[in-house]
Structure 1
C-alpha cells in the first residue's frame, strides 16, 4: 500500500467544517496520527455532522465507507500524511486490514468472556462497536478463522480486503471505543491463533443472535 495517492483519489481538500466540535475533531485527528505512527494503515472514511445526518466526504455515500474509491491505494502509515488528511475534514478513521493488523469480530458477550480469560500480558487492543460486537486486533499472519468460531460463535475474521472503523469513529452519534487501547497493550499485537484459541475456549450457547456488521 502506498502513501502516494494521486489527485483523483485523495480526499477532497475543503475548508474547515465549523459544525464539528473542535475537541471531537482533534480527537479523531490525533487517533489517526497515532495509529499511523505505530504502523497501522489508516484511511479517511465518511462522516456525519449530526446524529442520523447525511454521510459526507464522498458523493452518494450511504453509510460509513472509505472516501477514496480505490481505498486500498489510499492508506497511510505516515503520521505527517495522516495529519494533513485529517486536518482537511473530520473524516472517520478506518483501518485497512491485512497489512500488519487484522481484526476478529465476535458478539459482545463472547468478547467479554474471552477478554477475562486472556492474561494481561497477552492482551492486544480490543475495540467495542456500538452495535453489539467486539473486535480483537491481531497480527496479520494468514491464520484462517477456526470453523467452530464461524459456526458456533458468529465470529468473523477481517483480513486482507477488509476495513474496520477505529475509535473514536462514530455512527449515528454512537462512538466506537477502546476496551483495551493500543497504548494500554503496548502497541503489541498477539498472534491470531492464540486469540482464537481463547475465543474457542470461551464459546457458550449464550453467544447467540446474528452478527451485526461493522462497516
Structure 2
C-alpha cells in the first residue's frame, strides 16, 4: 500500500508519541497548536480541523463513515489490512498481510454503500483507494510538504492533503508526470497508477493517517503542475534568511542542504525542466 504503508517509516512510534521526519513533529500537533517560529506562523493558515474522522485510534464506525464519505465523492474504496501501528494482518485470516494487499480483489473497488457497509460491519479494515483512478498522489518528506503548504497558505492550488509518519501526501489531478527536477529528490514520489493508497482515519506503521486539508475543506483536487513547481523551487534555491526555510531543531540549515538536494559546494543550483 505504497502511499502510507509500502514506504517504511523512518521513525516508528506508538499512539500519542512523536514521529519525526526532517525535524518536524506531527504527532499531537493539532492538540498542542502551532509550533513556535515564523514557519509555524505561516502554517497556521493550513486548516488544522477536518470534518472527516481523523482519530489515531480509529474505531469501526469512524472507518466505515469515512469510507462512505469517500465513496459519495466518487472515490471507489477497498478494505485494506488491519493495522495496529506495528504490524498488518488480514482481519479474516490468521496469516499476516502485506501492507500493499487489499482484503478483497482490487477489481471489487466500489462506491456502493451497501457493499461498504458489509465490508466494515465487523472488521476494522484500513480504507484504501487506487491512485490514478480518481486522482494521483504526490508524496513528499514531511518538512518539504509542510513548507509547500505554508507557501500556498493552505489554499489553492492545493487540494486535499494527508499527513502520516511516512510523509505528506498531496491528492492532485491525474495525468501530470513527475517534474524532472524532482526525480532525484529524496523522498519525493508520484505514486504509480493502481498503487493502493491508505486514507484517513486508518492506522499505519508508526501511527495514523489524518487530513491536514480534508476533501471537505477544499473539494477540488490539487493542481499537480503548480505544486510540483513550488516543490522544485523550495528544493533548488532555499534561502535560510526567509521565513519557512528553516525550522527549530534543524540547526538553521535549509531542507535542501540537509537532504543533499540542489546544493553543490555550498551554492544553490537550480535544475531545469
* TM-score, structure 1 normalization: 0.75
Q: Give 2:223's aligned residue.
A: 191
Matched, 1:66 2:102: yes
Matches within 5 A, 1:1-215: 24-48=59-83, 50=84, 52=86, 55-57=89-91, 59=93, 60-64=95-99, 65-68=101-104, 70-71=105-106, 73-119=107-153, 120-131=155-166, 133-140=167-174, 142-172=175-205, 174-185=207-218, 187-203=219-235, 204-206=255-257, 208=259
Q: Please tell me whether the aligned partners of residues 64 and 117 of structure 2 are also in contact (alpha carbons under 8 angstroms).
A: yes
Give the 3 Å change call, closer, same or farther, for CA 54–169 of structure 1 in structure 2: closer
Structure-2 separation of matches of 1:155 and 1:23: 28
Cα deviation 1:123-172 (Å, max 9, x = unaligned): 211111123x11000111x2111121121243111141211111111125
Q: Which runs of 5+ in 2 are unaligned?
A: 1-56, 236-254, 261-273
Structure-2 separation of matches of 1:207 and 1:58: 44
Is the radius of gyration larger for structure 1 or structure 2?
2
- After the TM superposition, which parts of structure 1 deviate over 6 Å for at least 4 consecutive aligned residues? none
| 3-state SS of paired residue (2:121) | helix
Aligned residues: 182
Q: Please tell me whether the aligned partners of residues 140 and 169 of structure 2 are also in contact (alpha carbons under 8 angstroms).
A: yes
Q: Please tell me whether the aligned partners of residues 108 and 134 of structure 1 are also in contact (alpha carbons under 8 angstroms).
A: yes
Cα deviation 1:83-130 (Å, max 9, x = unaligned): 222124211101111111110000000001111112513221111112
| 3-state SS of paired residue (1:83) | helix
* TM-score, structure 2 normalization: 0.60
